[in-house]
Amino acid sequence: MKTLYIIPARGGSKGIPGKNLRILAGKPLILHSLELARQFADDQDICLTTDSAEIAKIASEVNYQIPFIRPASLSDDSSGMNEVLLHALNHYKQLGKEYECIVLMQPTSPFRLPVHVDGAMSLYTREVDMVVSVKKAEANPYFVLFEENSNGFLAKSKTGNFVRRQDCPAVWQYNGAVYVINTESLKKSGLQNFTKVIKYPMDELHSVDLDTELDWQFAEFLNGIYKILPI
């Protein structure tokens, strides 16, 4: 199966300014994902898509040459991942290269391990739209999540006669670590309209996602204890 590994890494970030270049466990954040992707594919099948000359320079220092500079129109806070992925696929199509699936690896999941990528890929078939890594959600809509109704009162997000949280149906949230995406489904319907999605569960520790400064400090703390990241 022809697979393209995509690592999206724009230069800007509001939650953690400059996060993709920030040092974690002795190296820029972006290199953790690039090194992991290299365990699965040659550089010609790895697409580090960025708008940043600084990120491109860091990649070149480990002998990776970015395939293109992502246009500014796909690099601001409002840019959608769907468009970023299609842009990358189109670049390779113009070079005569077609891919059956994409493995999307966001740099903000530094604790993702090879076993997680392998596990998600093992669940993928061409009959599904996507396999996505998830973690069990802490907040359950049957128990502790509420929405404001038309009268301004809080009501349970999902109804059910559950006395204990443990009795509620399990709910899952995307953890951002691994997405194995059917390229035909992506082109036809887009990420937001996928209906055939299979979960790949991950534990809380390896699901850490870097979105805020507190997340970053927590990741440094965890890595100091568990030594998850290679230096």
- What is the pLDDT, as a whole number, of residue 120? 98
How confident is residue 73, by pLDDT bands cut at 50, 70 and 90?
confident
* Whether residue 23 has pLDDT greater than 90: yes
- Mean pLDDT, residues 140-146: 94
Task: With CA atoms as reference, report the closest residue to 181 among 190, 170, 171.
Answer: 190
Task: For residue 166, give the 3-state DSSP assignment.
Answer: helix
What is the spatial distance between Cα 2 and Cα 83, in angstroms, rounded to a whole number?
A: 21
Is pLDDT at 161 greater than 90 in this prediction? no
Q: Tell me the angle at which helices 29-37 and 53-60 cross, rounded to the nearest 10 degrees.
A: 50
pLDDT for the residue 72: 87
Ranges 25-29, 62-66, 130-134, 165-169: which has the least confidence: 165-169
Q: Given pLDDT bands bounded at 50, 70 and 90, which one contains residue 173?
A: very high
For the whole model, what pTM was predicted?
Answer: 0.95
Q: Which sequence spans correspond to the domains of the chain?
A: 3-136+173-226
Q: Please give the angle made by the CA atoms of 228, 179 and 88, to the nearest 5 degrees.
A: 110
State residue 231's pLDDT score: 72
The rounded mean pLDDT for the chain is 95
Q: What percent of the chain has pLDDT over 70?
A: 100
* Residue 14: per-residue pLDDT: 81
Query: Which stretch of DSSP H or E encloses residue 176?
Result: strand 172-182
How far, in Å, are 48, 156, 185 from residue 188 at the CA level? 24, 35, 5
pLDDT at position 63, please? Answer: 98
CB 165 within 8 A of CB 141: no
One DSSP character per residue, 49-68 reads EBS-HHHHHHHHTTT---S-
Domain at 3-136+173-226, CATH from 3.90.550.10, 3.30.70.100, 3.40.1190.20, 3.90.1560.10: 3.90.550.10
User: Do 2 and 102 form a contact (C-beta atoms < 8 A)?
Assistant: no
Tokens linked to 12: 């800007």
Upper half-sphere CA count for residue 215 (Cβ side, 13 Å): 16
